[in-house]
Amino acid sequence: MDDRSVFRWPVRSESTQGGSGQLSRGKLAAILGGLAMFGPFSIDTIFPAFPAMGVALHADKLAIQQTISVYLLAYALMSVVHGPLSDAIGRRKVILGGLVVFTLASVGCAMATDLTTLLAFRALQGLSSGVGLIVGRALIRDVLQGDDAQRMMSQVSMIFGVAPAIAPIIGGWILGWSQWPAIFWFLVAFALVLLLATWLMLPETHPPEARLPMVPRRLLRDYVSIAFNPRFQRLAAASAFNFAALWVYIASAPALVIDLLKLDERQFGWFFVPMISGMVLGAFVSGRAAGRVPGQRLVTIGFACSATAMLLNLGYNLWTDVPQVPWAVLPMSLNAFGIALVFPIVTLAILDMYPRQRGSVSSLQAFTSLVLNALIAGVLSPLVSGSAMGLLGSAATFLVLAWLFWTWESRASRPLQPCTGESNTVPGESL
């Protein structure tokens, strides 16, 4: 039986039954957006503090960069557990547990006096921070279908997209009046606010009768089945490489802002604000276009926008040897806009493949993207972040790979057999 037939908490146009009354769609989007934000906050808020952390912890630039890669690797490893765990015991319990662990890990980071201790607690942060984004995606698909799901996913993306823009700015402000540990105390406070909001307002969306027992052998079998599904591989690769075209710049932000653009630690907004403005605008357009513009066409437009951004960036870098704001960062805004158009369509197509295992599918999609992001942050970024053309070449390569996988999927998809439990929808056609 499809789990939608036993679901007891449908989202209606005005309000939904929450943990203590009625929860509007706007409040649901705000909570889920906030939960998705504390992952980017964990990464981007500390960017301005890299030089100060290096001095305080007696570590060079490459060693400090590992605070990002360790976090992402732990995030990726635990991401394969968050979704199935929420399928087994419910979404709300997993989110609350993750927030508690993240709060304690942030306290440990704030009190760390050496790099080894900091890296250990950063790993613990990574193990817990995925609950908001991964479980939140499954939660949206629990309660909404079709165009409504795309609209909610876009609303959450708009809220989520604000985090990378304001996080380094907040980090720079905090450094203006305090030391780098204060940034982690800020993360503690933010996590506590989310914990309270989730406890008081977020209802359970995955009822007991729809849950699947978390049996290791079955979980491994399911993961193998999903991971080796050619359609999942194509869609997950398209999603991961598409975001990687932006992530390579985000992971290289300290070098880009301070070394290439010659700005200081309080001026990260020059990079993040235009980029995230494009992402938020793209998410808004995606939500407004739901039900009006076919998903396949939106994805095509998204890739075209990103390709145009790469060409503009190439032209600017060929024209000048010294990149300067705002011209060096404006093309990234168009790239982010295109990525935001593509993301909801591809993600919903992945979630629809296994309606009773959305948590597991969301986890595996996140794992694919996070492993790639961790490799970019820990290996590729230190190699290319010293050159604007090196960053551009990497981003353009990821964009081409994403487009190739999407094109492959669009041409290869065929109606799936109903007995497999998978969706019969060709990605983008019904969204």
> Which pLDDT score, from 0 to 100, does residue 289 have?
84
DSSP state of 210: G
* Helix 61-89 × helix 91-111 angle, to 10°: 160
DSSP run (H or E) holding 151: helix 146-177
Interval 423-429 mean pLDDT: 36
Mean pLDDT, residues 38-51: 83
* pLDDT classification of 17: cutoffs 50, 70, 90: very low
Identify the helix (H) or strand (E) that includes residue 31: helix 25-44
Q: State how far the Cα of 186 lies from the Cα of 190, in Å rounded to an integer.
A: 6
Residue ranges and CATH numbers for the domains of the chain are: 22-413 (1.20.1250.20)
Residue 421 binned pLDDT confidence (cut-offs 50, 70, 90): very low
What whole-number distance in Å separates Cα of residue 103 and Cα of residue 131? 13
Q: Over the chain, what is the mean pLDDT?
A: 81
Share of the chain above pLDDT 70, in %: 88
pLDDT in tens, 195-230: 998 888 887 877 777 777 777 777 788 888 888 999
pLDDT digits (tens, 9 = 90+) for 373-387: 878 887 898 888 888
* Mean pLDDT (whole number) for 392-407: 95
Q: Check if the beta carbon of residue 254 is closer than 8 Å to that of residue 47.
A: yes
More confident residue, 245 or 157: 245
Does 416 or 59 have the greater pLDDT score?
A: 59
Categorize the per-residue pLDDT at 125 as very low, low, confident or very high, splitting at 50, 70 and 90: very high
User: In the prediction, which pLDDT does 286 show?
Assistant: 84
Highest mean pLDDT among 37-51, 231-245, 254-268, 355-369: 231-245
- Averaged over 14-18, what is the pLDDT? 38
Separation CA 111–CA 149 (nearest Å): 41
The pTM (predicted TM-score) of the whole model is 0.69
Which pLDDT does position 393 carry in this prediction? 94
User: For the chain, what percent of residues have pLDDT higher than 90?
Assistant: 26
